[in-house]
Chain A
Amino acid sequence: MVSILGVLLAWLGHNVLDNMRERGIRAGFDFLFDPAGFEIGEGILSYDAAQPLWRAFAMGILNTLRVAIPSIVIATLLGSLIGLGRLSTTPSLRKLCGFCVESLRNIPLLLQLLMWYFALTSLLPDASDAISPLPGVLISKGGLFLPAWSCVGGGCSWNLPHLEGFGIEGGWSLSPEYLAVLTALSLYSAVFIAEIVRGGIQSVSAGQIAAAQALGMRPLQILRHITIPLALRAIVPALTNQFLNLSKNSSLAVAVGYPELVSIANTSINQSGRAFECIVIVMAVYLTLSLITALLMNLYNARVALRGAK
């Protein structure tokens, strides 16, 4: 079977090379050093179109992380709350949390993302009539603007967003694309995490808790020393899978124009025509991300498991 597979792969690879040669398509990764030629809307690094393409890819990777990491944090917190809510003794809260879970997890993430983006760009006011819920905070179609603490030269001061030209300038801004991806990813993953948390806590046997009560432990002590450590053992491996899913799902951001890795790769495919190379880069980056996440979570898991065994 393995040898058949090997022959098949070799045949496919041979075809690719053959077809590319026949059609005069150039191959190789040298194009990464050519100027990118396109601008990127947002990012952490300073970047302009004259810089080499690899830097555009770096921007894309950082933008992926910039949305994936906060989403992981929000989803975990929110998911734990919903999961606990589903175990609450208050039926109304339980039902509400149950409703959230059932409604969100049965709708494709892509559709939810498009809906959030639509809500943010169509239902919010123009920049000129931005909503200001708090002084210095502006919300409009242009995104969310927050005051930023900036230091120029010697003095530091609050840099407040304000209306200038067409839009809002200054402060710390989050684009609607970013916000839509962040919201959709966090909520979608949160309901899956909620189910994991609920299952994890339910897996702690009643006997353990009864035993702790018999020893005279108070409810909070039981939670801290018995329920949480035991539940974590069941939760962490499943949580790892959710984190992996979340980082892979961040690739859907391409649908709303957030310039993350897949979006940059997509643009590069068009500008350079190097489809194969760009897809290989995307896959390699995601594999690396997956490996790192799995590694970190396994380390954490080892710690949790040890503590539980102590």
Chain B
Amino acid sequence: MIHSLFRRTGLAVPFILAALASTPAHAGKTLDAIKQRGNIQCGVSTGVAGFSLPDSKGVWSGLDVDFCRGIAAAVLGDPNKVNFVPLNPQQRFSALQSGEVDLLARNTTWSLSRDASLGLSFTGVNYYDGQGFLVPKKLKLTSAKQLKNAEICVQSGTTNEKNLADYFRAQNIKIKPVVFEGFEASFKAFFSGRCQAYTTDISGLAGVRNKEAKNPDDYVILPEVISKEPLGPAVRRGDDEWFAIVRWTAFALIEAEEYGITKANVVSLKDSKDPNIGRLLGSTEDSGKLLGLDREWAFRAVKAVGNYGEIFARNVGPDSVLKLPRGLNNLWNKGGILYAPPIR
């Protein structure tokens, strides 16, 4: 009788597996796999306001999220054919390495060690950020250099942890980091008063202050920006076609802003006489062919999520709770450093 139990339990294993496992990925080229699967697996954060955050119904929004949707629109023709995989900082690289996600758009800083030794390639930058400090107003601080002996809450597994050490070493100031596993645990501890300062990327600080603080006016962001944090999407190394698609979709969104193509006017601009616009939207030239896509790839991306400026305004800019200034993230001809190589 135990024998039969054995057999029964043995038989159950594949069933449990079948019930729980996701569909296995297709080996080989990423684009083929995506087309066959019918969606893009996009690795995002577990919840960073402005970049990738699910609402109570599980609908994701944010800059990184819109970027993934734009790529889905360009590649699959439907911005909703994205499966968002929330990843914590520790999981993100192995998730990409192992093929769990096709694309990592998880406000991840582009750095040499990550580019060179983790088996992945950054396709570009979709947000230029820098690390800063958030402090309670009542401490009356005006500079990070006053943080001598302060306890500073920081999330583990981020470049922030390292920058923090570097900055204060260079300043010859001793501080005490209090390192937390999760993003939420780190700011929760800060707001409970465990630390005198909280550090992360400035976009993150704004999000934490405006969304998580009971009274945002009780906190200030210090003027120092202690690091360069170019945040960008990354793909697995070794698939150049997919790399190019992700990179050029990002350029297309920037280019669209430069030519004034918006979500609202993209359909009417298809008949535009401007050859640049015609090339980008595929009405005069087929730019998609070179990427292995059809001619309307960029048209669909802009139609789905708008140009870079619209994405920015909606998620982190004036139309969002973060209200971040464009700053470096403006077009090159408007005082920023966003510069897309020509699409031709």
Contacts and interface: CB of A to CB of B under 8 A. Distances in A.
A269 B158 CA distance: 11
B148 A25 contact: no
A142 B151 contact: yes
B93 A141 contact: no
Contacts of A39: 161, 164-165, 168, 175-177
A22 B150 CA distance: 44
Contact of A49 (B120, B165, B196): B165
Given A49-B169, A167-B151, A270-B158, A257 B178 contact: yes
A137 to B, nearest CB: 20
Nearest to B153: A257
B185 A257 contact: yes
Contacts of A141: 192-194
Interface in A199-216: none
Contacts, number: 118
B186 to A, nearest CB: 8
Interface of A: 19-20, 22-26, 37-42, 48-50, 118, 121-122, 126, 141-142, 164-167, 169, 175-177, 254-257, 259, 263, 266-267, 269-271, 273, 275
B189 A121 contact: yes
B193 A121 contact: yes
Given A22-B238, A25-B97, A165 B149 contact: yes
Contacts of A41: 151, 176-179
B2 interface: no
B94 interface: yes
17 contacts: A25-B118, A25-B119, A26-B117, A37-B165, A38-B161, A39-B177, A118-B192, A122-B192, A122-B193, A165-B148, A165-B150, A175-B178, A257-B156, A257-B181, A270-B89, A270-B161, A271-B162
B149 A167 contact: yes
A269 to B, nearest CB: 6
B172 to A, nearest CB: 11
Contacts of B113: 273
A299 to B, nearest CB: 37
A25 B229 CA distance: 23
Contacts of B119: 20, 23-25
B119 to A, nearest CB: 3
Contact of B161 (A176, A255, A267): A267
A37 B162 contact: yes
B166 A273 contact: no
B193 A169 contact: no
B156 A266 contact: yes
Q: Which size class do B's interface residues fall under? A: 35 or more
Pairs of residues from A and B, 10 with the lowest C-beta to C-beta distance, nearest first: A23-B119, A270-B157, A49-B165, A24-B119, A39-B165, A121-B194, A166-B196, A122-B192, A257-B180, A25-B119
Contacts of A42: 176
B166 A169 contact: no
Contacts of B186: 257
Contact of A50 (B93, B150, B168, B169): B169
Contacts of A26: 117
Contacts of B162: 37-38, 49, 271
A267 B156 contact: yes
Contact of A24 (B94, B176, B237): B237
Interface in B81-98: 89-90, 93-94, 97-98
A167 B179 contact: no
A167 B90 contact: no
B236 A270 contact: no
A118 B58 CA distance: 28
B139 interface: yes
Given A41-B178, A257-B180, A266-B90, A121 B165 contact: no
